[in-house]
A and B are shown apart, each in its own frame.
Chain A
Amino acid sequence: MHSASGTSTAAPEPRNAPRRQFVNILLGTGLVASAASFLYPILRYLVPPKLPDLGGDAVLAAKTSELKPNTAKTFRFGSRPGLLVETVSGEYHAMSATCTHLGCTVQYRPDLREIWCACHNGIYDLNGRNISGPPPRPLEAFEVQVRGDDIFVRRKQEA
């Protein structure tokens, strides 16, 4: 504190210039490296961690008594909604309920016997194929297993 460093800024002698440059580079890299070590945790912190997805396991989507032919039910599949449809002929179809267009949750339209997204009028068939409107891709279809009264839904296993 007592050294009046404000006055000691006389130009260095030329033969000292490389030495000064070397010290400056050392100081500069040190500062940049430590700044990076401070910033890195913050940047990592900003990226939300991946939540465990239950998609691998079978999910109890509904009881057989809950559904009648030509109706559907949305259920929790991991952290996202799924749609379980009982067709007129009594077959079960399950698929992701997240519209592939802009992510709205789709619904079953008993009058059309198709799956409809209310946001932009996208239409999928009962296998989840996009057949009309803006959706770019089919809905992900799930595997359905009926065990007793319980209807289980799981992600299709890749063969």
Chain B
Amino acid sequence: MSSMTNSVRHWLEERFPLDDIKTLMEKKKVPVHRYSYWYFLGGMTLFLFGVQVLTGALLLLYYRPGADEAFESVQFIMTQVHFGWLIRSVHSWSANLLIFMAFAHLFSVLFLRSYRKPRELTWLSGILLLFLMLGFGFSGYLLPWNTLSYFATKVGTEIPAQIPIIGRPTLLFLRGGEDITGSTLTRMFGFHVAILPAIATLLIGLHLALIQWFGMSVPPALEAEWRAFPPEKREVRFFPNFVLRELMAWYVALGMLGALAALFPWGLGVKADPFASAPAGIKPEWYFLFMFQTLKLIPAKVVGMDGEMLGILAFGLVGAVALLLPFLDREKPFNTRRWISGLACVFLGYMAVMTIYGWVAK
């Protein structure tokens, strides 16, 4: 038996860099310190993404895009297909937790300042991945073709239309026409299952390769402590020690996902009717709420400028700052470093308050 595994192994080694991969995995060390728990968030986000790929592929077996069929096919999945309700509810729950985890991962990296040299590109690819995940959320939301998703897409595609010059072409591109129709659904479906996954695969590959290459970042304060007193420095091997711990966390997460999906299955709502009025209290998904609520609160005109426009510009600016953060973190000519954590705290607080406000507001 062992001679057979050995010969298979030998055959593979001559044709595949198995040893190099093994060495790379064994070489990598994960630092152990009081902030080590934050290292799990990225892996958790990756795990939830994997759950999305699997459940998404399963949903594709029964889902049919199209204004006349989409709602009915999701209804079919929820009521007729064995465990269809479970697969769809896990997909929805996992999507929401994934966005939450991605934000948590982002802020943990930000506060531990892990984006600093040489990890600027890791940060950049991470922010792009977050934008991509929001795009997944937005495009996937329309697919069941219910009233809520219909109007959320209507409002959501109307927002970029406010931008001068490129606004209108963007709207036409996103909607596949003037209005939200079956063409929009086809488009969102295409984004959701082909275009975004293709880009995500590339970016996740890059993100992971960079993390594997540079290893885990150690917070600057700890780095200094360890330099001053080297025996303090502790590490575990990435493989198998860290991987096994991460797997345990994933296992628990999978159990929680199943429990959430079983106890709080996702509803389907009412089929979209393009000629019906928007229902009262209509809201986007929670992760867009803080922006939604802000745009609701801004007056129509702010010092001669269109209020809506101002809000969009402000969020665009926040996005750009987030993307370029590692390059803004410097000591000369101005010491911006100490501002970054403070500003991030303020923004995090703003997001939390606005999300809750948007949640309870009528």
Contacts and interface: CB of A to CB of B under 8 A. Distances in A.
Interface string B219-243: 0000000000000001011000100
A141 B241 CA distance: 68
Interface centre among A5, A34, A44, A45 (most CB of B within 10 A): A45
Nearest to A41: B83
B58 A42 contact: yes
A112 interface: no
A5 B84 CA distance: 41
Interface residues of A, number: 15
B236 to A, nearest CB: 5
B21 interface: no
A45 B84 contact: yes
Contact of B36 (A1, A6, A38, A47): A1
B40 to A, nearest CB: 10
Contacts, number: 43
Given A44-B83, A45-B82, A45-B84, A4 B236 contact: yes
B80 to A, nearest CB: 5
A30 to B, nearest CB: 10
A38 to B, nearest CB: 7
A2 B32 contact: yes
A11 interface: no
A45 B241 contact: no
Given A5-B241, A45-B58, A38 B254 contact: yes
Contacts of A38: 254, 258
A6 B241 contact: yes
B81 interface: yes
A46 to B, nearest CB: 7
Contacts of B84: 45
A49 interface: yes
Given A6-B236, A49-B81, 11 more contacts: A2-B32, A4-B236, A5-B241, A38-B254, A41-B83, A41-B86, A41-B87, A42-B58, A45-B58, A45-B84, A46-B61
22 contacts: A1-B36, A1-B245, A4-B234, A4-B236, A5-B241, A6-B236, A6-B237, A6-B241, A34-B251, A41-B82, A41-B83, A41-B86, A42-B58, A45-B58, A45-B81, A45-B82, A45-B84, A46-B58, A46-B61, A47-B82, A49-B80, A49-B81
